Structure 1
């Protein structure tokens, strides 16, 4: 079995040489053959596409953060090749969402012996969302953080302060198969997963493979509701945070709004069209109980 490791050498600001040594050592006496390909930050999509075409792997492992995972996943959508995730970035939200093990040996066991399980994705305009995308307040924060010279918690806090100072309500029209309505909101989230990389749970009932995504409308900025995202005392107040499932949706705004997909700022838009792509990606997970390893 051929396993292709797509490695982002700069993700998380850590040297990956020790990690590649661990991978090589793990597979040394096994029939599984590890192949290493490194991204360059300039032509990552082309590198992934060419590596898959050249090596014809049985499994592909993304070594990096959420951005690396997404780049690799885009080239595996709709194929029979499963994706492995070795979190090694500053943001590893999808690995956390999947409750993947924290240690490298446990993860390598999954890549060698794990089960391929289907995972949904959301087609959002011309992009693919594995995790969370949104318009409004959080997308504005993503933009500010990317522009910030400060990193880490202080940079994030600085971005939060700037975002709250410049916040504004959006006039929104939402059209789904079941309903159409207009409202005002600070943010609208399209959620395939439950939580942001910060650990804030915006979509408590979210499932990554249920054939639908959730639309979360943040109507009001409430300290109590934000607190619930980190400490689940009670369900959200639907008058302040409204959540409903969808398989396709169109969102229009009267004025252009900040827009992000999986933590990447995409600019300002006036329309978002989204649909579920159910089970089009398979992800390597620990073997089910009773399965041979």
Structure 2
């Protein structure tokens, strides 16, 4: 049941390489029928966070909709994480990893129903060197794959597939790092070091089966070696992963120091090579619309 008065739709005109015209028109029509105020903001890549904050204050916005990919959702989350407003998502990016984790359907009308519905979770927000992350970040081979994908001209899952073999051949793994938390300090090596606030990558691979986005903790995933049977298990969403292949550590804060610079990504965006990542969690900071449980 809609209980807000002014809605701001934020769209990224270039995300996913698709037009947002249908999203804008359908949201506008739906809100008119509900006698709810409609406002539109199109991202430009310049001062977007401050512009969104200003609109929320000036127009008394009490609910936002995001029509874009994970990068756009993160931008809006960064803008509203300290504000008393809720958010719904209309996934319109390349991978849409957060939508996959929240079980948002692919049909636009159903997405709008959920985004304007009355069922929410209060989602945790991760800060990685003060960069917002909502579902999945990592260092190592997957981040290298994302870098190679961004440098290629072929988009979509087929583009990821084409880059997989060259990435495996060219990568220098495992890499060495240290994890420091309030409770322990460990030296480790891995082919991939994940930082998870949710269960899945945008591809659907379930690498963190017991993770929850609203429990006040995140998980560090240490993939110690490449094992293709375990990769297949994650794609099938099987929950019993071999601990000799991947170790899962639930924590509330951490610092990761790498022996040499390693590829780093957050929510599907390649962020360069780093040697030091400081991670803190903002518990239940984001009120986000999700499907009702069955």
Which TM-score bucket, shorter chain as reference?
Answer: over 0.9
Closer, same or farther: CA 232–15 of 1 in aligned 2, 3 Å: closer
In structure 1, what is the equivalent of residue 230 of structure 2? 225
Q: Distance in 1 between matches of 2:102 and 2:237?
A: 19
CA RMSD in angstroms, aligned pairs only: 1.9
Tell me if structure 2 keeps the 8 A contact 1:137–1:186. yes
In structure 2, what is the equivalent of residue 83 of structure 1? 87
Tell me if structure 1 keeps the 8 A contact 2:50–2:79. no
Deviations 1:116-173 (A, max 9, x none): 4300011111211101111111111111111112223442123211210122211111
Q: Distance in 2 between matches of 1:153 and 1:285?
A: 25
In structure 1, what is the equivalent of residue 40 of structure 2? 36
Q: State which of 78, 97, 101 in structure 1 corresponds to 2:101.
A: 97
User: Does residue 1:276 correspond to 2:263, yes or no?
Assistant: no
Q: State which of 146, 151, 160 in structure 2 corresponds to 1:156.
A: 160
In structure 1, what is the equivalent of residue 175 of structure 2? 170
Structure 1: gaps spanning 5 or more residues: none
> What SS does structure 1 have at the residue aligned with 2:33?
coil
The normalised TM-score by structure 1 is 0.92
Tell me if structure 2 keeps the 8 A contact 1:133–1:263. yes
Deviations 1:189-208 (A, max 9, x none): 10001111111111111111
In structure 1, what is the equivalent of residue 243 of structure 2? 238
| Displacement after TM superposition at 1:281 (Å) | 1.1
Q: State which of 146, 149, 152 in structure 2 corresponds to 1:145.
A: 149
> What SS does structure 1 have at the residue aligned with 2:279?
strand
Closer, same or farther: CA 219–13 of 1 in aligned 2, 3 Å: same
Tell me if structure 2 keeps the 8 A contact 1:7–1:64. yes
Structure 2: gaps spanning 5 or more residues: none
Q: Distance in 1 between matches of 2:95 and 2:44?
A: 19
In structure 1, what is the equivalent of residue 72 of structure 2? 68
Q: State which of 172, 193, 198 in structure 2 corresponds to 1:193.
A: 198
The normalised TM-score by structure 2 is 0.92
| Displacement after TM superposition at 1:71 (Å) | 0.8
Aligned pair count reads: 289
| Displacement after TM superposition at 1:107 (Å) | 3.2
